[in-house]
Structures are given as structure tokens and as C-alpha cells.
Chains A and B, each alone.
Chain A
Amino acid sequence: MNPNSANQRWSKWIWFVAPGTITARPFKNVVENVARFARKGFGSASQMRIRETPKGYIVEVLSEGHPAHDPQFVKYMKDCFQKFFINGFGPDTQVRLTVKLMAGSRQDGTPADQMVVLPSLRVN
């Protein structure tokens, strides 16, 4: 895979979700449900990572093909996921979304961004 080839656009979507006080759910259920919903929103070619922190969940999606430079599309995705999280965790759930274009053109005349994904190094 070369994410920097022409006509590809990669983006990273990061949600921070502070669950509402009413609906507590096991982490395993959260992972399954978010994965199912994100697969519908982004398609199966995406990578997703969910972390549980003391203040809430961090959901990261690295995806190809979505117009992350388009504010209307970002708002649409934000609204969809916000509704999903509130349905799952309760009405006082706090949802924050950060979107970053990782590779591809912003279609504003500036040079396209490029992306590098590092491996981890294990020293025994």
C-alpha cells in the first residue's frame, strides 16, 4: 500500500467520548458496537483503535477516500456519530471529534499532504 500515490486521500478521525452517567457498558460491548457502526460509516478498508481511559473512550479511525477537507462532510459524520454515542451511552454523553487530513489533496491549491506510518521496534 502506498498512501501517497495520486488520487488517494487518507484521513484520521479521532473521537473522545465521555460516557453519560446513566448507561454504563462493558468495554467489550463498546468495541463491538463502535466497530460495527464505524464499518458502516467508513467501510472495511479502514483501521480503527479504541482505548479506554479514566475519562472516557478514544476512538481513532484511519480511513481512505473520505473528504476530510470538506466541512460539510465532517459535520455530517460528526452528527451521525454523536447520535450513535448518545443513543449508546445516554443523553449527557460528551463527544468531541478531531479530523486530520493525513495524505492527499486539500483541493485548495496547496501541495498534497503525505503520510508515513511507523512500525514499532522491539528490542530483546
Chain B
Amino acid sequence: MANGLYAIFKQRLLNKELDLDTDVITALLIDNADYSVNLTTHDDLADVAGAGQVATANLGTLTIALGVFDSADFSWTAVTGDQSESIILYDNTHASDALIAYYDTGITGMPVTPNGGNINVTVHASGWFSL
């Protein structure tokens, strides 16, 4: 699979259901042994099996500028669990935790095997995504 935005996220965005720089946006570390992405049909966090959810962290300093969604770097702290291969971004404020984006390609340091320590994430200089 490749990195991408969930199709229903785009629909929700156009429908004014999400506000990315004021909602709580969460980054989720994913074990792909327990989650197979479907960017077309998956829309809510309920589509991601609990066993596949390894760690969560809320993003800080959310910004939207010229179509670019960005945040500060962040950490998953004291992470334990299965080897993880991908990252999901979702809107934690939305009533059903709307899925936003999926990343499993071109990530330096992935797959990562949690060792009980922190996993520090550097967000790309060009942000999470641009529309």
C-alpha cells in the first residue's frame, strides 16, 4: 500500500465536519499484522482493530497554511507492543474518531520494534500533507 488520505476524510473535510487546526488530532502507531488499510472504505477508528493500535499521541502546534497541514514533532512515550509498520492520523474530536491519513511508505526508522522507550517522530519539513 502507499501513503494516502482516506477518501471519506476528504468528503468530511468538504462537508465542514472537521477542523484540523482546532480539533484534537492523534497519531496512531499501527501493527500491520492486525490492520490492512482500505483508504476507500475505512472511515472511523473502529475500522482499526484494537490489536493493531500500538501507541497514540496527540499532536501539538497544529497549523494550516496554503493547504499544508503541519504539527510539531512529537513522541510516543514508553511504548511496548508488537513491531509496527505504519502510522494513522485521526481526528480525536470527531464523534466517531474520523480517520485522516495513512503512512506506511518512505518512513525512516520503520518498521520499529517497541522496546519500552520513547519513539520520537520528526514531522516532515513540508508538513503531514498538502492539498
Cβ contact of B5, chosen from A1, A49, A62, A123, cutoff 8 A: A123
Q: How far is the CA of A12 from the CA of B123 in the complex (A)?
A: 13
Interface of B is mostly: loop
Contact with A along B95-131 (1 / 0, CB 8 A): 0000001010111111011111111111111111111
| B129 with A123: CB separation less than 8 A | yes
Contacts A115-B122, A120-B130, A121-B128; is A110 near B117 (CB within 8 Å)?
yes
Q: How far is the CA of A31 from the CA of B128 in the complex (A)?
A: 25
B93 CB within 8 Å of chain A: no
Cβ contact of B117, chosen from A62, A113, A119, A122, cutoff 8 A: A113
Across the two chains, which residue of chain B brings its CB closest to A112?
B117
B92 CB within 8 Å of chain A: no
Contacts A121-B129, A121-B130, A122-B129; is A113 near B120 (CB within 8 Å)?
yes
| A119 with B124: CB separation less than 8 A | yes
| A119 with B119: CB separation less than 8 A | no
Contacts A3-B108, A116-B109; is A121 near B101 (CB within 8 Å)?
yes
Chain A residues within CB distance 8 Å of chain B: 1-4, 12, 49, 62, 100-103, 110-123
Closest 7 CB pairs of A and B: A111-B117, A121-B129, A117-B108, A120-B124, A120-B126, A119-B106, A116-B109
10 contacts between A and B (CB under 8 A): A4-B109, A103-B109, A114-B117, A114-B120, A116-B112, A117-B124, A118-B122, A119-B106, A120-B129, A121-B101
